[in-house]
Structure 1
Amino acid sequence: MHPTRMLRRMALAGLVGLGLAGAPVPTLSAAWADSVLRVAPGADLSSLDPTGPSGTQTYIHGMMVYDTLFAQDEDLGIHPQMVGEETVSDDKLHYRMTLREGLRFHDNSSVTTRDVLASLKRWMGLDVVGRTMAVDVAEMAAVDDRTFTITLRRPFPVEQALANSGSGLPVILREKEASGGPFTKDTAVIGSGPFRFLRDAWVPGAKFAYQRFEGYVPRSEPANGMAGGKVVKVDRVEFTVMPDATTKASALQSGEIDLIDQVPFDQADFMSGMPGITVAAPSKIFNTFFMRPNSLHPPFNDARARQALALAVNQPDYMAVAFVRPEWGQPCLSFFVCGSPNGVTNGSEPYQHQNLERARELLRESGYRGEKVVLLNSHETLFVGMATDLAAENLKQIGLNVEVRESDWGTYMARRNNKAEPDAGGWNLFLTATSGSGAYSPLSNTIADTTCGGRNFAGWACDEEAARLRDAYVHEADPAKQRQLLEQLSARLWQVMPTVVLGQRAQLYAWRNDVSGLLRSPSLITLLWNVEKH
């Protein structure tokens, strides 16, 4: 057993042995005790806007409250969701879509094409997939209240884009919110999804809750991933923020909560043998774990310094520290998810083995002379915290003057979007994971997007050649030619290194055995319709 894993497991066992298994954990509302699903989230709800770059909990919030035109099943297949009928021209340039009947917002107003078009325009300005689609859209227009058209300049995978769950979500807002600029604390959260957000129950850093929307009309197909009928089988879902892993484990044992979302890996390892509790990774696709350098500021505005980071890494060390079991964390040298149809490794050959001496040489060649490097961290998401601890020591081995900035997860998320100099509230490096459902395709892979202009994922990598190859891949209809472009793109990414791939991880959950119906999500987004308590 890895020494770090052994120490952490012993610590968790000791705390539970001291009687914490029965420690009281506050709940949101005893009045709903018979019909409430109580969840300990992986992190606090730090933002209510799921349309642009955000954290996983915001995307979970988005899929509970809002709905999308298309949706991915557990195998990444694409299905209509809000769309009832669709026709596509033979040249793939003209789409006509009609919303299915019965779609209503939580204020009981009907969903119309005005809402749809305003929402899509907003998403196209905020998300990597949306911005890519926007380049090819010649016109979007309403035919009537339920039917709209999309006219393209050249063929584009429209349904895949509108089902995206790996970055900013193309959810449908009311026209008022979609046209109202950036979300603020006063922006109304009124969707047409299966749950209503209970703003009065939201206490940032402590709790948030949702109630079943009685006016939601599910599709008739069985639920499958994010697709099919979203049937809500509890009256209410309550999230209680518990940053401490032991508190979560104790609460699950005692029945104070029913489900741990994004359960920490050491906690999962310890809990696997507990009676009455299931620990599992329902998703079929793994999620990419990575280190993100800030390409705006020295030293990582130089590709050689970014390459040095990759040469400093020994992926099995990160997998052991962060993910505990081999089946939960796997080394991977693909930008597009090992085990996926696109899991190519072209260009990774120089990085298959750690090479500290070459990493030091590249740092010197880049002009680095010992300047402070700000590494963001938050142990509130435990696998990030433990892996970042390792990274801090690892990168000191190649001569980087690393300063770790520890914070809660909300602060961490806010700071990583700050483009300022590292000493003025910005940063140089952070570690996190991204959804395999987005990373498997160049269209939706945010960490491989090198579109210049500073509107891409935090780190703001810029390389015109990689961006050109990505664009060519997205628009290539011939599978053989598309594969060649994918391999060329992979090779270019390993040269410019916008992201350092550390491996890939499962998404783990732990739940009491009186809970059933948890769906296999194609992404990091936990799906809480179809779940019931017995």
Structure 2
Amino acid sequence: MKGKIYSLLLLLILAVALVACGNSGESKNNDGATKGEETEAKSTLQMALGQQPNTIDPLVTTATATAYAAKPIFESLLTLNENFEIAPMLAETYEVSEDGKTITFKLRSGIKFHNGEEMTADDVLASMNRWMEMSSQAKASLADAKWEKVDEETIELQLEEPSLIALFTVAEQNQQAAVMPKEIVEAAGENGVDEYIGTGPFQFVEWKTDQYIHYTKFEDYQPRTEPASGLAGEKIALVDDVYWNFVPDESTRISGLISGEYDVSIGVSPDNVQQIEATDGIEPEIWTYGMELLVFNKKEGVFTEQKMRQAINAALDFEAVLLASFGADHFFELEHGIFQPHMEDWYVDTGKDKYNQKDVEQAQQLLEEAGYDGEEITILTSREYPHYYNAAVAVQQQLEQVGLNVKLDIYDWATLLDRRSDPELWDIFFTGWDTQVIPHGYAFIDSKTEWAGWTNSLEMDELLEEIGDAATQEEAKVAVGKLQEEFWEYLPVVNLGLFKNTDGYSDKVSGFENFIGPTIWNVSVEE
């Protein structure tokens, strides 16, 4: 009897063990994968984008298409974390002297360029000097500063006076202070570098015009050890190859996303968000980009007259323009500030009385005072950015109702960028500007940048200097209040409000996010 009981107990134990083994094979981990099973990952990430850059050299242009395409390749001494705070990248550490006039950067050791060469202080020095020559913000904010090599692992930024904004300028991502090999920098011409070689997690392979840019994983990349945050911290290439496909037609991008041809589609118009939401296997990501801007040509033509600019600002119904641009109010915010409200160090309320006036009588009075006599007003626009195009059409209609003679010139985006550099060819164009961490990041405010539109305001220039020279953040914020008041008086641009971008991505994609554009490191794709 005892033997039978032991036999039954043994069988029961074995049965429980088998059930337990079976259950462990079916239990799920946090991301839904089965424990004990390897999740098959794709080695290639396929991106679809509407716009092709005219270069991948980030110093040549402020165009978003270039900044996005350059992100995987190039890195700078400093960068920005998810809170828009300064964080080191190629600098191991940085230190500001007691008098505030010298910033010392200790370089990370063992960092390699994509050509296999190790980064040196000479490479960094050459790169920073080129950046000082070409970056509109560096020229404006650090005009009298100098870079010096201290030793093989250290360089210094020497300032004429202490500057509240110097570190932010070095960390700025538009016209990024990209570190490249010295020989590449020295061989660069007016149109930029001939080879795209940086230190980033992905390296450039080829660019097939009108088709794609191909990146591949940089096997010798040395990531930082801090947790990933914004553009800072650990950056890991989790796929071997990335194809940056140029697909101007949005319906083609979306159909490719649905079919699985593309893993991510950058730029989904509000009209198509519902289609993304209703389709199994793909999801939208809606994120606040920055300001939707109407830019005036202040160098030639009717808008050299300030009252003409004020007339346009008085006439327009901003909400109607933004609704025409985006189709629904959850894709934009009526906001007059040059900073977002959550940015407490910089956000101010001045100038609000001149925002979204919708005052036709005031506009016509200003037109009369400006001496407008029916001159043709040319608006540059492109269908490659539907919301800019829609804004241009809406503004044309509103201005014609006020009595202005307005025509649209429609081009592909690359051609528009070329034409906007010639003040004889346009009067207005539309663009977006991502929210900056300092006011000096807005090239349309600073006269010294000579950015398209050609701002020339002594008052705003002096206020920018006052902000940079401020001893405290509180003092700087007071000056920002004065700057924003003058901004709405001088009107280098019309800030229509904040807008949101939408991207679509497969639910097989993990880790994808937008921070000052799409990031492709720390991103994986399941089979």
Question: TM-score by structure 1 length?
Answer: 0.87
Give distance in 1, aligned partners of 2:123 and 2:370.
Answer: 49
Determine if contact 1:290/1:499 at 8 Å carries over to the other structure: yes
Letter in 1 for 2:44: V
Change in Cα spacing, 1:464 to 1:228, as seen in structure 2 (3 Å) is: same
The answer to whether the aligner puts 1:69 opposite 2:77 as a matched pair is yes
Report the counterpart of residue 5 of structure 2 in structure 1: none
Report the counterpart of residue 445 of structure 1 in structure 2: 442
Determine if contact 2:91/2:106 at 8 Å carries over to the other structure: yes
Report the counterpart of residue 27 of structure 1 in structure 2: none
Letter in 2 for 1:502: L
Report the counterpart of residue 260 of structure 2 in structure 1: 255
Report the counterpart of residue 532 of structure 1 in structure 2: 524
Report the counterpart of residue 30 of structure 2 in structure 1: none
Report the counterpart of residue 21 of structure 1 in structure 2: none
Give distance in 1, aligned partners of 2:166 and 2:473.
Answer: 17
Shift of residue 203, structure 1, vs aligned partner = 2.1
Select which of 211, 215, 222 maps to 2:216: 211
Matches within 5 A, 1:289-438: 289-341=292-344, 342-419=346-423, 421=424, 426-436=425-435, 438=436
Q: Name which one, 1 or 2, has greater alpha-carbon Rg.
A: 2
The answer to whether the aligner puts 1:95 opposite 2:100 as a matched pair is no
Letter in 2 for 1:271: I
Shift of residue 266, structure 1, vs aligned partner = 1.9
Change in Cα spacing, 1:500 to 1:182, as seen in structure 2 (3 Å) is: farther
The answer to whether the aligner puts 1:86 opposite 2:94 as a matched pair is yes
Select which of 241, 259, 275 maps to 1:270: 275
Determine if contact 1:87/1:97 at 8 Å carries over to the other structure: yes
Shift of residue 520, structure 1, vs aligned partner = 4.4
SS in 2 for 1:462: coil
Deviates more, 1:368-377 or 1:186-195: 186-195
Report the counterpart of residue 12 of structure 2 in structure 1: none
User: What is the CA deviation profile of residues 75-98 of structure 1, one whole-angstrom value per residue up to 9, with x for unaligned ones?
Assistant: 101110000122321221122211
Give distance in 2, aligned partners of 1:58 and 1:442.
Answer: 22
Give distance in 1, aligned partners of 2:60 and 2:150.
Answer: 28
Give distance in 2, aligned partners of 1:169 and 1:431.
Answer: 23
- Over the matched positions of the two proteins, sequence identity in percent amounts to 27
User: What is the CA deviation profile of residues 433-485 of structure 1, one whole-angstrom value per residue up to 9, with x for unaligned ones?
Assistant: 0111x2x521212232233xxx4321011001111001101220223322211
Determine if contact 1:286/1:337 at 8 Å carries over to the other structure: no
Give distance in 1, aligned partners of 2:47 and 2:394.
Answer: 30
User: What is the CA deviation profile of residues 130-169 of structure 1, one whole-angstrom value per residue up to 9, with x for unaligned ones?
Assistant: 11343241x321122221112211112332111102x311
Shift of residue 321, structure 1, vs aligned partner = 1.9
Report the counterpart of residue 49 of structure 1 in structure 2: 57
The answer to whether the aligner puts 1:236 opposite 2:241 as a matched pair is yes
Give distance in 2, aligned partners of 1:134 and 1:180.
Answer: 24
Shift of residue 185, structure 1, vs aligned partner = 7.9
Report the counterpart of residue 152 of structure 1 in structure 2: 159
The answer to whether the aligner puts 1:177 opposite 2:184 as a matched pair is yes
Letter in 2 for 1:450: S
Change in Cα spacing, 1:99 to 1:123, as seen in structure 2 (3 Å) is: same
Select which of 210, 226, 248 maps to 1:221: 226
User: What is the CA deviation profile of residues 467-514 of structure 1, one whole-angstrom value per residue up to 9, with x for unaligned ones?
Assistant: 100110122022332221111111111111001011111232110000
Determine if contact 1:335/1:448 at 8 Å carries over to the other structure: no
Report the counterpart of residue 31 of structure 2 in structure 1: none
Give distance in 2, aligned partners of 1:52 and 1:474.
Answer: 25
Change in Cα spacing, 1:237 to 1:446, as seen in structure 2 (3 Å) is: same
Determine if contact 2:128/2:147 at 8 Å carries over to the other structure: no
User: What is the CA deviation profile of residues 223-267 of structure 1, one whole-angstrom value per residue up to 9, with x for unaligned ones?
Assistant: 111101111101111122111111111111000101011322222
Select which of 193, 196, 218 maps to 1:189: 196
Shift of residue 409, structure 1, vs aligned partner = 1.3
Select which of 271, 283, 291 maps to 1:288: 291
Determine if contact 2:282/2:507 at 8 Å carries over to the other structure: yes
Letter in 2 for 1:277: I
Shift of residue 516, structure 1, vs aligned partner = 0.8
User: What is the CA deviation profile of residues 361-386 of structure 1, one whole-angstrom value per residue up to 9, with x for unaligned ones?
Assistant: 21222222111111111111111111
Give distance in 1, aligned partners of 2:42 and 2:142.
Answer: 47
Report the counterpart of residue 497 of structure 1 in structure 2: 491
SS in 1 for 2:242: strand
* Count of aligned residue pairs for this structure pair: 484
* Structure 2: runs of 5+ lacking an equivalent: 1-40
Report the counterpart of residue 19 of structure 1 in structure 2: none
User: What is the CA deviation profile of residues 30-64 of structure 1, one whole-angstrom value per residue up to 9, with x for unaligned ones?
Assistant: xxx94111111141122222114332121012211
Give distance in 2, aligned partners of 1:294 and 1:82.
Answer: 38
The answer to whether the aligner puts 1:112 opposite 2:120 as a matched pair is yes
SS in 2 for 1:64: coil
Change in Cα spacing, 1:221 to 1:186, as seen in structure 2 (3 Å) is: closer
SS in 1 for 2:451: coil
RMSD: 1.8
Letter in 1 for 2:86: I
Letter in 1 for 2:519: L
SS in 1 for 2:137: helix
SS in 2 for 1:280: strand
Determine if contact 2:50/2:249 at 8 Å carries over to the other structure: no
SS in 1 for 2:497: strand
Report the counterpart of residue 15 of structure 2 in structure 1: none
User: What is the CA deviation profile of residues 407-440 of structure 1, one whole-angstrom value per residue up to 9, with x for unaligned ones?
Assistant: 1111112211223x1xxxx21110110111x2x5
The answer to whether the aligner puts 1:460 opposite 2:454 as a matched pair is yes
Change in Cα spacing, 1:470 to 1:456, as seen in structure 2 (3 Å) is: same
Determine if contact 1:81/1:228 at 8 Å carries over to the other structure: yes
Shift of residue 326, structure 1, vs aligned partner = 2.6
Give distance in 1, aligned partners of 2:504 and 2:160.
Answer: 47
The answer to whether the aligner puts 1:515 opposite 2:509 as a matched pair is yes
The answer to whether the aligner puts 1:478 opposite 2:482 as a matched pair is no
SS in 1 for 2:142: helix
Give distance in 2, aligned partners of 1:529 and 1:210.
Answer: 12
Letter in 1 for 2:324: V
SS in 2 for 1:179: helix
Change in Cα spacing, 1:183 to 1:529, as seen in structure 2 (3 Å) is: farther
* Structure 1: runs of 5+ lacking an equivalent: 1-32
